[in-house]
Structure 1
Amino acid sequence: MLNTDVPTTFENLELPTNLLSTLTALGYQHPTPVQAASIPHLLTGKDLLGHAPTGTGKTAAFSLPLLARIDVTKNTTQVLVLAPTRELAIQVTAAMKQYGADLKGLKTLSIYGGQDYGPQLQQLRAGQHVVVGTPGRVMDHIRRGTLKLDTLEALVLDEADEMLKMGFLEDVEWILEQTPDTRQMALFSATMPREIKRIATRFMKTPETVSIKALIGAKAMINQRYSIMAAKEKPEALQKLLNFEAFDAVLIFVRTKVQTESLAELVSKNGHRVAAIHGDLAQSQREQIIKRLSKGQLDIVVATDVAARGLDVERISHVINFDAPHDAETYVHRIGRTGRAGRSGEAIIFLNKREERLIRGLERETQNKLTQYHLPTASMIREKQLNDFAATLKTAVEAGPREELIEVIDRIANELETDHLTIAAVLASQLLPERSPGSRKTPATESTRPQAKERSRTQSTAADQPPPPPKSQPGFSPSKGKAIFRIEVGHDQSVEPGEIVGAIANEGGLNGKEIGQIQIFADHTLLELPNALPRT
């Protein structure tokens, strides 16, 4: 095993100069532990069993040595990479194209379900040195005879455990059976269940083993924090967090498809550029969202664990576990999307009282401490808002104002007989809202209007709206198999139906379809839920 504590450069790994020049241009200086341990073995043609999770740099670990061995003068498929998801296939293809930028004539193609066959067939007929694909589509092309593996030099199984979880194991074994016995093989997996070990034993030839722990905590510079709250408090807590934390891009994890949409809608109302990713999106929509996030056209993505597979964007600075994951391994996968390759990152998890016991398990899994996160107050958010505005204004002043605007300001000052400072303050107030974004808005009920101030609260309530029905007399009749439940939040707390659905689904483990009618009153909400649900 390579001693990863000793500083290593890519030059020490004996990569060819055309790859080294590309790595230098990309700003790569030192290989990660998995790269330093894997590249020498793969360069010499050995099989490799890599026990390495997401975020350790494994894509470059297998891409660089296999690219180094490709003969671009031969118009045949020499490397095949199998990936569990379309997103990961696209990501690996993009990485290999980037690393092979100086390999003149290199042809790389990704093939996956959801794409038209036409363009894939055309490019396969033209010959591709590297093919990256999902098991199902790769099988289709092998059976059609459009993907020929008789000249294959190397095969990679990337995220093998994910392929196992998604039910691709039989497909993978069938594909492996179609490859030449002489081909080299690399298998990378975050975990090593029995089925993955069986594949390694059956299809690999005395593989070298590389085992790298997840780069969590101090090594990956991920600052892990937790905050304890009730489910109904999470939407407002999220808005406070987003208004206070200095972030580049944020990935928010929730449990259900319904929550991705409702939470994205809530966050967008706060002025953030946000999108939801879930299983119902077309592949083209998913790709567009990831592309926009990468280019800085989006700042926040709300996703489920399955939908977020393959979402690997370098600018993600924060991962927020709005809902706790089902296990510690999922937590590691989630937060591994930030703090990558030596970058710093922030991971924050929202937990209710019952989930507080999970903290010790997460600390054991990540080998690092989770510190408590105290939500910022309204005054803290406002102070940050003013400081950010001042910094932006200073930058603009240093850049210099436009002459015609100076003339306009002078004219207004003369006409109104006021000073320039007053005009500047008025302009600033137009740009900066009076209250910090995300703070609760006072509902526009009669009691807040000027003419209502002279009336008593009792008169206002009686005149303007009916009193909320008592708990024993709901505002609507329940459907068959359902009962009326009451929660103590309503219009006064600016609650939205989507927030209620998200909170109930999270707290009760319900599907959104199990939640029936919802009626929101001033200080409470009535909703239909399954009759079997405990009334606690």
Structure 2
Amino acid sequence: MSTARTENPTSIMGLNKPNGQFRGPLKPVGLTSGSLATAPQPDTHQKGGNIPQSSGGIRFGDDWKKCLQLPQKDCRFRTSDVTSTKGNEFEDYCLKRELLMGIFEMGWEKPSPVQEESIPIALSGRDILARAKNGTGKSGAYLIPLLERIDLKKDHIQAMVMVPTRELALQVSQISIQVSKHMGGVKVMATTGGTNLRDDIMRLDETVHVVIATPGRILDLIKKGVAKVDKVQMMVMDEADKLLSQDFVVLIEDIISFLAKGRQILLYSATFPISVQKFMAKHLSKPYEINLMDELTLKGITQYYAYVTERQKVHCLNTLFSRLQINQSIIFCNSTQRVELLAKKITQLGYSCFYIHAKMMQEYRNRVFHDFRNGLCRNLVCTDLFTRGIDIQAVNVVINFDFPKNAETYLHRIGRSGRFGHLGLAINLITSEDRFNLKSIEDQLVTDIKPIPGSIDKGLYVAEFHSADPDAEDEIRGKDGELSAA
């Protein structure tokens, strides 16, 4: 993976922490203990143990499942967004045993609805247009068939995944590496803007099977003759609605012109613009259409608004921090300047806080993303950079400090909580200027954003763990707290 540039950073608005990491005391946020209680996550640093790293180490008849190093079982309640399946198992798809090992070690026990619909069709080589909610397993829906079809005997690029943001590229590449770790040498490369082009050129001089990329950087490498994509058999567009927007669609069309005619194209998104019809007619061949959007918002997310003035917002946020049982939270602002100012305010209130936005150096963006994902900080303030596909299971509260202008942005923002069928809370700070947007977004998404109550039932957003120890459950869940919204 390429390294970030290291020129000296410049501080914005006179703040002395341009790296996005304000570190105040880690003040407990509505928790009974001071520790950061993150959701169960796969250990990405496990060694292989007794599990062979290539297919040659497993003998016929071995009970290979006993050798797996499985993550802690996630016993939290999950909604029908991910549990309403046909009952299929990953083993039903005739996948390589080594791929199955990686799948199970990720903690993926059974296919979600979008994975059930997508995996067998993608394995058949057919084009796909899939519409499913944020946080329901779309990454696994395309990565599993993509990795299954990689031929390690061939040393050229065989698959590409296009994503709109650098953070999403890093996340997808990490998942790819983890899932394929037992497959005997699948080479995955992430390439994005804002990193050293020379490093990417050197990396492509070696064997690369899968490229995860943002459109501008991979097109640059293709035109330089460094990334040879004429033998690519599968191209995936994740967050396809964004990739087909005016910001990217010309680049995407250019990239496709370099691919072989027989390539397979898979589109995945929660929403699709009208322009997708024109794109489908031009580039997809009789695509299999998947639509699991009986409603737009995730079933596990409860949405509230607090009616405040601009001057009351910080006070209201402080009240929320003190009363809610926050595991991790993402707080959205509408500008980079407000992100940094709010992060400083939160730190002054005594809470640990990171921030991230598109104007930061890539090196710092990578570090903030990595550290927040690993639970080193409870609160992250950001712009809409973080609304696309970012999957951090521990996030149970999203706060719109600044209310978004359109329904699509709102949908992607609140989808950062309640991931993979779990529970989450979305709280919107609404000024008099926002009230018309609030009504419009409710109507467009056919959803209900309620006034914030005096107390919020923790059962709406705190994980329901099934434990044999009732005292442990009480410590996890805490007690209801009173909220004074204004």
Give the equivalent residue in structure 1 for 2:334: 255
1:373 aligns with 2:452: yes
User: Structure 2: how far apart are the matches of 1:26 and 1:215?
Assistant: 28
Give the equivalent residue in structure 2 for 1:424: none
1:234 aligns with 2:322: no
Identity of counterpart residues, as a percentage? 32
Contact 1:55 1:215 in 2 (8 A): no
1:162 aligns with 2:242: yes
TM-score, structure 1 normalization: 0.66
Match of 1:277 among 341, 349, 356: 356
Match of 1:174 among 237, 254, 270: 254
Unaligned runs of 5+ in 2: 1-82, 457-470, 473-483
Contact 1:241 1:375 in 2 (8 A): no
TM-score, structure 2 normalization: 0.73
1:322-471 mapped onto 2 (5 Å cutoff): 322-374=401-453
Change in 2 beyond 3 A, CA 1:83/1:64: same
Give the equivalent residue in structure 2 for 1:136: 216
Contact 2:232 2:259 in 1 (8 A): yes
What's the CA shift for 1:204?
1.2
Contact 1:86 1:310 in 2 (8 A): no
Deviation per residue, 1:185-235 (Å, 9 max, x gap): 112233322332222211111110111228766x54112222112221111
1:65 aligns with 2:65: no
User: Structure 1: how far apart are the matches of 2:329 and 2:294?
Assistant: 21
Contact 2:387 2:416 in 1 (8 A): no
Unaligned runs of 5+ in 1: 378-393, 396-438, 440-536
Change in 2 beyond 3 A, CA 1:375/1:232: farther
Match of 1:295 among 374, 377, 383: 374
User: Secondary structure of 1:132's partner?
Assistant: strand
Give the equivalent residue in structure 1 for 2:99: 19
User: Structure 2: how far apart are the matches of 1:111 and 1:170?
Assistant: 19
What's the CA shift for 1:333?
0.4
What's the CA shift for 1:151?
1.9
Deviation per residue, 1:401-437 (Å, 9 max, x gap): xxxxxxxxxxxxxxxxxxxxxxxxxxxxxxxxxxxxx
Deviation per residue, 1:266-300 (Å, 9 max, x gap): 11112211122223211111111111101111211
Deviation per residue, 1:82-110 (Å, 9 max, x gap): 11121111111111112212211110001
What's the CA shift for 1:13?
3.6
Contact 2:305 2:430 in 1 (8 A): yes
1:202-213 mapped onto 2 (5 Å cutoff): 202-213=282-293
Which amino acid in the other structure matches residue 199 of structure 2? P
Displacement over 6 Å in runs of 4+: none
Change in 2 beyond 3 A, CA 1:282/1:316: same
Which amino acid in the other structure matches residue 402 of structure 2? D
User: Structure 1: how far apart are the matches of 2:217 and 2:89?
Assistant: 38
Give the equivalent residue in structure 2 for 1:191: 271
Give the equivalent residue in structure 2 for 1:265: 344
More helix by share: 1
What's the CA shift for 1:366?
4.7
Give the equivalent residue in structure 1 for 2:227: 147
User: Secondary structure of 1:23's partner?
Assistant: helix
Change in 2 beyond 3 A, CA 1:215/1:93: farther
Contact 2:119 2:141 in 1 (8 A): yes
RMSD (Å), alpha carbons: 2.6
What's the CA shift for 1:365?
4.7
Q: How many residues align?
A: 379
What's the CA shift for 1:254?
1.1
